[in-house]
Amino acid sequence: MQYIRKIKWLILIIAAGFYACDDNNFCLSNQHAIQATFYSLSSGSENDTTLTGIYIWGANREDSLIYDSLNISQLFLPTNLNTDSTIFIIKQSVLVNNQVRSDSDFVQFNYSRHLNHVSSECGMTFNLVLDTIIYTNNIIDSVSIGYANINYGEDAENVKIYIEY
Amino acid sequence: MPKMLKYILSISLLVTSINSFSQEKTEEEKKKIPFEPGIAVGLNVGTFITPFFEPERIGMEATGRIKFNRKWFAVGELGYENVSFNKESYNYDSNGSFLRLGIDYNIFKVEETGNNDNIILGFRYGFGVADYKSDRFTVTDGYWGDYLGSIGSGTSTAHWGEFVFGLRSEIFKNFYMGWSARFRLLALTNNTQQLEPYAIPGYGKNDNRTNVGFTYNLEYYLPLKKKK
């Protein structure tokens, strides 16, 4: 009986801990945004750069700006989960010789959507795989896909946007 | 508050079982009783307690145990579990059943013949199957608008192994009470739908490849040989 008394308290603590163990998951939001960075090749090598006076909105969503007159180098562009492509308009307005000079481009991201069950607490989301990018060349020189996967919980640069100057 | 209740309940269950387990035997009870092979059948009453803490899960589990000798038991556990809930992000319904088969080894050194208490180490192979569906799910998107969808009925199967540690005590003649803690390792799952099951019957929540479980059994022992 001495033997049993010795293990009694140890068992009590371990087993009660098991039974009372609780899940404390937390869920992330906006995990289907494309992460992009502006780059310049003006110095002959690739350097990330900051653009001034940038406005960005989704196609047909002029009323809802994602970026509103900001100086930015990194972009988070929310994809439309109801379609396999999303178009954004990138506009730059800068003051040159007391005159506002504006240029804009559209960028269309084509992707495939893969339904992802995150967890019992967080429910579903989509993981995306970038396929192609179509764009105009006013501010933008070129666009390349660095990491095609847009996955829940991952923090990675998906796209490089090279600018004209 | 539910967590506190969980602690209180688990501790009280444990104390009850350990107290019964560690009761001193009287001299009369220490009379030699020969080993009797037999079969025990019982219920995991823990499954009736689970809905108080997780109202979405309702189930039942029966257990059967064959005693080969003082050390070794063959064990089978059979049950079902239904899960149903309606969250903001999705709703879910499933009906499933499970079977666990394995062995228990009694490490308790019996100091007096006739003491049928056990300290158990064991292993189980578990198999669970569930039909499940989600009639509504939402992926939130604050800019373009939420994605609304549904996932039709699918079937999930799962295989896992579990290590068992437990105590088992004869509280009345041939009537046993015992608890066990289980450490589960999920080996294989197969889902016919993109949606993974919320919970695997007999395994527990499906968020991790490992899980812990707890059983609290009441068993009746049927000796296979009559005493001489």
Q: Is the predicted pLDDT of residue A15 greater than 70, yes or no?
A: no
Look up the domain containing B89 and give its range.
2-17+36-223
**Dist. CA B56–CA B83, nearest whole Å:** 5
Q: How far is the C-alpha of B50 from the C-alpha of A159, rounded, in Å?
A: 48
Pairwise CA distance, residues A63 & A79, whole Å = 17
Ordered DSSP codes for A121-142: TTEEEEEEEEEEEEE-SSSEEE
Exposure string over B193-227, b if 16+ CB within 10 A, otherwise e: bebbbbbbbbbbbbbeeebbbbbbbebebeeeeee
The per-residue pLDDT for A151 is: 92
Residue B114 lies in a domain: yes
Q: Is residue B132 part of a domain?
A: yes
Per-residue pLDDT at B136: 94
The partner residue sitting opposite A66, judged by closest CB among B10, B138, B143, is B143
> How many structural domains are present in chain B?
1
Question: Domain with B112 in it: what CATH number?
Answer: 2.40.160
pLDDT at A4 (0 to 100) = 54
**Domain for residue B51, yes or no?**
yes
Residue B167 lies in a domain: yes
As to burial, measured by CB atoms within 10 angstroms (0-12 exposed, 13-18 middle, 19+ buried), residue B79 is buried
User: How far apart are the C-alpha atoms of A111 and A133, rounded to whole Å?
Assistant: 9
Convert the pLDDT of each residue in B48-75 to its tens digit.
988 898 899 999 999 999 988 878 999 9
User: How sure is the predictor about A111, in pLDDT bands with cuts at 50, 70 and 90?
Assistant: very high
Nearest alpha-carbon partner for B128 in B152, B153, B101, B160: B160
Tell if the CB–CB gap between A12 and B149 is shorter than 8 Å. no
Rounded mean pLDDT of A79-87? 96
Selected residue of B139, B165, B200, B207 to mutate for chain A interface (largest A Cβ count, 10 A): B139
**B24 found inside a domain:** no
User: Residue ranges of chain B with pLDDT lower than 70?
Assistant: 1-35, 111-114, 226-228
ipTM of the complex: 0.80
B10, B140, B194 member nearest A16 (Cβ)? B10
Q: Does residue B89 sit at the A interface (CB-CB below 8 Å)?
A: yes
Residue B201, SS3?
coil
Question: Residues A1-26: what's their mean pLDDT?
Answer: 52
Q: Where is pLDDT greater, at A15 or B126?
A: B126
The span from the CA of B105 to the CA of B123, in Å, is 9
Does any domain span residue B66? yes
In terms of Cβ atoms closer than 10 Å to its own Cβ (0-12, 13-18, 19+), residue A120 is buried
Which of B14, B45, B163 to substitute to test the interface with A, most A CBs within 10 Å? B14
pLDDT digits (tens, 9 = 90+) for B79-105: 999 999 998 889 999 999 999 999 999
The answer, yes or no, to whether residue A131 has pLDDT greater than 70, is yes
Chain A interface includes B140 (CB < 8 A)? yes
What pLDDT, on a 0 to 100 scale, did the predictor assign at position B13?
Answer: 47
pLDDT at residue B117 in the model: 85
Answer whether residue B98 is part of any domain: yes
> Between A and B, how many residue pairs show a Cβ–Cβ distance under 8 A?
98
Taking CB atoms and an 8 Å cutoff, what residues of chain A touch B90? 123-124
